[in-house]
């Protein structure tokens, strides 16, 4: 019997309940490229997506839980870059990315040292593709009214569970970092 033409003996589909709202999980973010570039905004490499109907620009992000009881589960969220309706959506996206950088790079949100400021800079959106950080899982309704998981908040080192869940995270290095450090460390 050909397993790719006769599916009578195939197993049943797995059904997953959403991850509980508020769960903290280490995730790896992958950006699904949308092909939109605007070098004046720093959006290069085709990572941004522009929705022609509305003019909104966003990062189409996929998050994979890397550890714990929900390991390998996937979640999807949009990270706002621009809306023709005003700056709020882009500002929320910038704040989320700042949180991601703080979480991934072990930087306390109140740290304004030169090292922390360097850790919050990126050369381009490509640096966000594959970044790992601690996320707070949320639940919202999808287009059919069913619950779905999303990520809207990064958990930073000031959270009491951060160290236990993130493990050893490279803190922002000294301002005069030697050659060979990540671009944010320069």
Please report the pLDDT score of residue 55 as a whole number: 96
Instruction: Output the pLDDT for position 5.
Output: 83
Range(s) of the domain holding residue 96: 24-165
Domain count, the chain: 1
76-85: long-range pairs with CB below 8 Å, 24+:
76/150, 77/150, 77/151, 77/152, 80/56, 81/41, 81/43, 81/48, 81/57, 82/41, 82/55, 82/56, 82/57, 82/58, 83/54, 83/55, 83/56, 83/57, 84/54, 84/55, 84/56
Residue carrying the six token digits 């790896």: 28
Residue 171: inside a domain, yes or no?
Answer: no
Q: Could you tell me if residue 15 is inside a domain?
A: no
* Residue 180 belongs to a domain: no
pLDDT at residue 64, rounded to an integer: 98
- Tell me the pTM: 0.85
Residue 186 lies in a domain: no
Asked if the structure places residue 9 within a domain, the reply is no
Q: Cα 93–99–104 angle (5° rounding)?
A: 125
**Is residue 80 assigned to a domain?**
yes
Low-confidence ranges of the chain (pLDDT < 50): 172-181, 183-184, 186
User: What is residue 180's predicted lDDT score, i.e. its pLDDT?
Assistant: 46
Question: Do the domain assignments include residue 61?
Answer: yes
Is 52 a member of any domain? Answer: yes
């Amino acid at each position: 019997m050909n397993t790719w033409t006769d599916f009578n003996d195939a197993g049943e589909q797995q059904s997953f309940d959403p991850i509980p709202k508020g769960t903290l999980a280490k995730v790896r973010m992958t950006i699904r490229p949308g092909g939109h570039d605007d070098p004046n905004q720093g959006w290069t490499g085709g990572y941004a997506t522009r929705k022609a109907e509305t003019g909104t620009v966003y990062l189409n992000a996929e998050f994979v839980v890397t550890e714990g009881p929900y390991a390998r589960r996937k979640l999807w969220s949009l990270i706002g870059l621009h809306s023709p309706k005003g700056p709020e959506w882009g500002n929320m996206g910038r704040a989320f990315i700042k949180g991601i950088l703080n979480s991934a790079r072990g930087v306390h949100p109140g740290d304004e040292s030169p090292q922390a400021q360097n850790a919050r800079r990126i050369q381009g959106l490509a640096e966000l593709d594959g970044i790992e950080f601690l996320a707070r899982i949320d639940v919202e309704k999808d287009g059919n009214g069913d619950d779905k998981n999303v990520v809207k908040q990064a958990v930073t080192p000031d959270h009491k569970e951060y160290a236990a869940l993130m493990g050893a995270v490279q803190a922002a290095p000294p301002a005069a970092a030697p050659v060979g450090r990540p671009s944010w460390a320069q």
